Structure 1
Amino acid sequence: MAAMPSDPPDVPDTPAADLHPVPAHGRTRPRRRHVGRWVALGIVVVVVAVGVAVVLAVKGGLEARDALTSALDDVPTVEEALTGGDTAAAQQALDRVQEKTTKARRGTSGPVWAVAGSLPGIGADAKAFRTATRSVDDLAQDVLPPLVQASGIVDLSGLRAKDGGVDLGPLEKAAPLVASSADALTPVERDLGAIDTSTLRPQLGDPIASLQDKVRTLGSTVTTAHRATALLPPMLGADGTRTYLLLSLNNAELRSSGGIPGSITVLRAKGGKVTVVGNASSSDLGPWKQPVVDLGKDNTAVFGTQPARFPQDTTMLADFPDTGRTMAAMWKKAGHGDVDGVLATDPVALSHLLGVTGPVTVQAPTATGTTGVELTSDNAVDILLSQVYAEIDDPAEQDAFFSAAAGAVFDKLLHGDVPAADLQHALTQSADEHRLLVWSAHDDEQSLLDPTELSGALTSTDRGKHAVAVLLNDGTSGKMSYYLRTSTELTSSQCTGTTRSDVYTVTLRSEAPKDAQQNLPSYVTGEAAGVVKPGVIRTNVVVYTPQGVGVPVIERGKQTVGGDTDEVAGRTATQLTVDLSPGQKVTLRVTLLTPQAGDGKLELWTTPTTTTGGLAAVAPTSCTR
């Protein structure tokens, strides 16, 4: 019986043209359906893998978030323990922080997080979160440990003079540890600072912005500790004897840095001990017929060669390092040898220190001998800048009294039991007001001083180059600046196309008595010089723009006033003269057009007077192109 034919195979509903013929050698080509199956299977595998990766990434991210939050909560505990000098507690808290930051870093590591940082929509957040966890872990592993170790060697907050000196041994041991911490902090600050929190979701952007602020604060602390441990040992004579000049600036006759250097105190440091070894008057140095140093064409264009020939005019220079170098050259030319640095302070700064040390008694000359004068934080400015001229006629005796006052305060600081925290507050206040300035003849030390308030470096550092400055120099040739009241503030800031227009209001007012000619010594009114009518205060105002900003527009009332303008280190310096009769007030409007749009704070540098400090921060309007 013939076999029944089997059912024909199912034939896909495909056009005949798509059917594949059997090749002559008898093998068939792989069907496209097989390729499609493999592609589909591959897609499924990828999707599952991505899904698993996402789940793991989310899980790791949540764990990292919790660990990071807990770690950040513990960091202040480390700082408080360090501040309190409890090294053991600081180390215990640090151990907890390190465990948490390691966990946070592990939770955001791996290729998935690296890829996530480049994905649209979530890339910026993922990248920022990963950077934050890595940065905080670097902080815990590399920045804080050397600080904790250093705190076990020296307590900077408790550092004080004892028996006329400071024990430098602990400082020298701590210096490399603090330097290591500062080096490790640099990339952390850089990476965190590069995160633009405005592009992130608020849930992430706000905490990271807070983290940036905390790291900046820590950075300031670490930088200060680094400078202290790096500078104090050599400057206090750890490697050999150091000699310094301390200039007592007289705000009653203004100069850019504060006042003329009337008296000079010679200090000697060796092995941490500082002693007063001599006094001199600026009148003992020169004047010189030829400049003792080359001031450069920029300084000479603004001030001529006077600052390099007359010691009283050295502080006319806008850059205190220039003042220091010039004064050191005059000191050497007068036959007194080399110095390792120049410091400057004024009676207002002395009053801050007297608030810490308590009163000191200084001997003042009288017609029959001498008498003790008690200086306190309340009366020091008035006595040193006004009464001394009414009661002591001889300029040399006036300078001797100024030197004795500075020496008495300094001696009490070295030998008295002054709390370190109180002393630090007084010194910081003086530095913040630009009433305490330091220049070192040693380049490596000066490079550490340059970025600080202590340097007073307006034209030679990045910090100073980007500041606005309104500096004052007396033109009366007397001591009438004691009666001058000044203020400078940013009163308007607005965006105008591609520039920003900032308006600074400069006010000068005279509180000189109307009967100044009759009741003030001619030495004070400048009558002998014959420059102005007695009682008039003449002030030369110099406006320095930030680097890259052109000539300012200066208005007095409704009238635009001109001035002598010169280029100084890529910026402009415009100088004009203001005369004030007793009781008169003059207001200047200074408009600066900044060609680069942007935001952020600017520093405003001014000459410190008897009533106004010399450094302030201003916040212009934020502009975007």
Structure 2
Amino acid sequence: MSDGRLPVRRRWVGWTIGILLALLIIALGWVIVRGIGAVNDLQQVAKDSSRLKTAITAADITSAEPIAERIAHHAQSARELTSDPVWQAFGVIPWIGPNFRAVSEVAEVADDVAQKALTPMLDVAEDFDLAGLGFTGGAIDLEPFAAIEAPLGEASAALTAAQLQAQHIDEDATVGPLADAVREMRTTVTQAANVVGALHGAAVLLPTMLGGEGPRNYVLAMQNNAELRSSGGIIGSSALLHAENGKITLQKQASTPDFPALDTPLPVSDATVALFEDRPGRYMQNITSIPDFSEAGPTIAARWEGRFGGEVDGVIAVDTVVAANLMKATGDLSFGSFTATPDTIVSILLSEIYATIPDPRVQDKVFAQAASALFGAALSGGEPKALIGALSESADEHRIRIWSAHEDEQKVLAASTLGGTIPADSSDATYVGVLINDSTGGKMDYYTRASISTAIGTCEGEPTTQLRVTWKNDAPADAATALPAYVTANGWYGVPAGSVRTLIALYGPEGATASHIDRDGTEDGVQTAVLEGRAVVQHEVLLAPGESTTITIDFQGTGAGERLTQVLHTPMIDTPKTTREKLDCAS
């Protein structure tokens, strides 16, 4: 006869389930409470980071120090709240686990930046005016750079490590608001790493590159984005800069007619010849078609030395948008019959000048006047910290490229964004790219637009990286008659006036091969090349006003299908929108 009690074994199972449920409820409460605290801490870090940026930009170190202390406190608190065993255990649960891991990793990145980067940066700022970078009386004081190189290097290393860690956070596996926060944090850390890295590079390179150990001469190549080349635009004008003891002076200016085509081309790489024949070796204006600036730079130097003699210590290439960025620091600019603002300088130099001044020789004179006026304003009237901000913005957009004839300096430059090289793929980043070169012969790229997307995954059992670019001729319908002949090229090179003919090259990850090539749903004739171990596929497209085309290439095999894939592209007037899409395998 039963006494109504459950058997011992069943009671034991019930107790076990009850205990587990109780522990789960306690654990949930634990992570919820700690999660709320961590989120609050991270929100405060975000707010204070914005305040800190404002204070440092204004060179207000007194205000920056307590803000940095608050950031460090909240970042450390967030890290402690999200690093205990219970929180880490929730991080391995399917579906919800990536969200816990992401919050923990964001807190860890914030704490590392606060402890390892902010502290040495503020220590430097107390002894050296980072906002002014040593500008005094039109020259840069080179002496303090030796003292700040080490702490800037420490801060740069910490930010680079944080940037790499942030890249490895898989925001696609998290909920929407958290994914947005991860992307915002990644952007902020990347910008900080680029700026501090550039400052550290300046501390290493400027003392010698600006003539601290003897005079230096540099060719400044100014690229015109209205006629695109791989690194930004055709070389429309150039100048020789002289640097000595931190002071920079403009020595000589030249334009395209000063460099007639060579009967015997300068040597260029096999990849360059495969894509552009020997034109970069013959024509000064085409040298920037060369994708790698470590090859383009010495080629520009050789052309200058061959024409004017002397010895060139390096080459600096900038595009027209750099002028707009610099004018935010220098103010309005007058040259020839024009007065430009930061908002109008690009349209004046790349469009209006051709309608106003039909003679190319007079155009060249006005371009030279504009360059001289901007150079003078930047060195004498620009606010140093604003100038540095403008140069940093331009460098982030890959609008400034530098090559040095001195091996030790070139090694540092080649490893930075300023070097204009294609970085090697690694576990931290895989690179694909789009190179755009005009073959219209006019200045129609003022009216072109681009968008770029990538997709990664597996197709037919093979790791796949899909790269897609849409290219549009956005010129007015009556461009053939409404625009100057110098802009449309007026059919001089076989392109109907108003149309745009463009070479569009897409390259994939190192070691991958192009398995599927598609243009607007059909196969098209292409050129192929190998660029530093990367397969390159180039289309030549012709578009009438209003027309667009979409090129899609699947790269498969070694190096493909990597989540951490980044896109490099030719700098244009309007930066192309770059997105990540869902992979749609070719049929």
Q: Same fold (TM over 0.5)?
A: yes
- How far the C-alpha of 1:268 sits from its partner, in A, is 1.8
SS, match of residue 511 in structure 1: coil
- The CA distance in 1 between the partners of 2:294 and 2:307, in whole Å, is 20
2:218 touches 2:312 (CA, 8 Å); kept in 1?
yes
Q: Alignment length, in residue pairs?
A: 543
Aligned counterparts of 2:281 and 2:116: Cα–Cα separation in 1: 48
Q: Quick one: distance in 2 between partners of 1:514 and 1:209?
A: 43
Q: Summarize the alignment of residues 26-425 of structure 1 with structure 2, pairs less than 5 Å apart.
A: 84=55, 85=59, 87=61, 143-159=117-133, 161-183=135-157, 217-218=188-189, 220-222=191-193, 224-231=195-202, 233-234=206-207, 235-292=209-266, 294-363=267-336, 372-392=337-357, 394-418=359-383, 420-421=385-386, 423-425=387-389
Q: Distance in 2 between matches of 1:347 and 1:490?
A: 25
| 1:591 and 2:553 aligned | yes
- Pair 308,427 (structure 1): closer, same or farther in 2 beyond 3 Å: same
- In the alignment, which residue of structure 2 is the partner of 1:539? 502
- SS of the aligned residue for 1:545 comes to strand
Q: 2:224, 2:319 within 8 Å by CA — same for their partners in 1?
A: yes
Alpha-carbon distance, 1:592 to partner: 1.9
Three-state SS of the structure 2 residue aligned to 1:560 is: coil
**Stretch deviating more after TM superposition (217-226 or 278-287):** 217-226
Instruction: Tell me how far 1:391 sits from its aligned partner.
Output: 4.9
Distance 1:480 1:86 in 2: 45
Contact kept, 8 Å, 1:245 with 1:265, in 2: the verdict is yes
Measured after TM superposition, the shift of residue 279 of structure 1 is 0.4
Quote the offset at 1:72 in angstroms. Answer: 7.3
- Please tell me whether residue 602 in structure 1 is matched to residue 542 in structure 2: no
* CA displacement 1:286-338 (0-9 Å, x = unmatched): 4222233x322222222222212211110111223322121012112224322
Task: State the shift of 1:564 in Å.
Answer: 1.5
Q: Distance in 1 between matches of 2:392 and 2:345?
A: 19
Q: Which amino acid aligns with 1:516?
A: A
The residue correspondences of 1:603-622 to structure 2 (distance < 5 A) are 603-609=567-573, 612-613=574-575, 617-621=578-582
CA distance in 2, matches of 1:530, 1:97: 60
Alpha-carbon shift at residue 165 of structure 1 (Å): 2.2
**Shift in Å, 1:485:** 1.9
Report SS of the residue matched to 1:597: coil
Q: Give the distance between the partners of 2:358 and 2:171, measured in 1 at CA.
A: 64
Query: Normalising by structure 2, what TM-score?
Result: 0.73
- Of residues 395, 400, 420, the one that matches 1:456 is 420
Work out whether residues 598 and 622 of structure 1, in 8 Å CA contact, stay in contact via their aligned partners in 2. no
Provide, for residues 71-93 of structure 1, a one-character-per-residue CA deviation record: whole Å limited to 9, x for no partner: 97997769956862455666667
Give the structure-1-normalised TM-score: 0.70
Code of the residue aligned with 1:441 in structure 2: it is A
Q: Deviations over 1:272-291 (max 9, x none)?
A: 32221110123323422223
Partner SS for 1:541: strand
User: Does the Cα contact within 8 Å between 1:243 and 1:269 map onto a contact in 2?
Assistant: yes
Confirm or deny: 8 A CA contact 2:315 2:404 kept in the other structure: yes
SS in 2 for 1:403: helix
**Per-residue CA shift, 1:193-217, capped at 9, x if unaligned?**
87889999x9xxx999989986884
Is the 1:254–1:481 Cα contact (8 Å) retained in structure 2? no
Give the structure 2 partner of residue 368 of structure 1. none
Structure 1: distance between partners of 2:76 and 2:358:
72
Q: Distance in 1 between matches of 2:567 and 2:350?
A: 28
Alignment CA distance shift 1:382-1:449 (3 Å) = same
* Letter in structure 2 aligned against 1:311: M
1:479-558 maps to which residues of 2 (within 5 A)? 479-482=442-445, 484-490=447-453, 495-498=458-461, 499-500=463-464, 502=466, 504-509=468-473, 511=475, 514=478, 516=480, 520-521=484-485, 525-527=489-491, 529-551=492-514, 553-558=516-521
Deviations 1:444-476 (A, max 9, x none): 4444444554433237787997122141222x3
**Partners of 2:467 and 2:506 within 8 A in 1:** no
